[in-house]
Amino acid sequence: MKRVSFMNKCIRLMLYLHNKKIPLLPKLINYFNRIVFSCDIPYTVKIGKGTLFIHSGLGVVIHGNARIGKDCRIYHGVTIGGRGKRGTPVIGDNVFIGANSTIIGDVKVGDNAIIGANSLVIKDVEKNTTVAGNPAKKIKG
pLDDT tens digit string along 3-29? 567 888 889 999 999 999 998 999 999
Q: What is the pLDDT of residue 85?
A: 83
**Global pTM?**
0.90
Q: What is the pLDDT of residue 57?
A: 87
- In terms of Cβ atoms closer than 10 Å to its own Cβ (0-12, 13-18, 19+), residue 25 is middle
38-63 pLDDT per residue, tens: 999 999 999 999 999 998 889 999 99
Judged against a pLDDT cut of 50, whether residue 101 lies above it is answered with: yes
Q: What is the pLDDT of residue 1?
A: 43
Q: Decide if 55 is catalytic.
A: yes
First to last CA, the chain: 30
Q: What is the pLDDT of residue 77?
A: 96
75 Cβ partners below 8 Å, 6+ apart?
A: 54, 55, 97, 98, 99, 100, 101, 117
Rounded CA gap, 24 and 16, in Å?
Answer: 13
Question: What's the Cα-to-Cα distance from 14 to each of 62, 106, 126, 140, rounded to whole Å?
Answer: 14, 25, 31, 36
Q: Catalytic residue among 18, 55, 63, 76, which?
A: 55
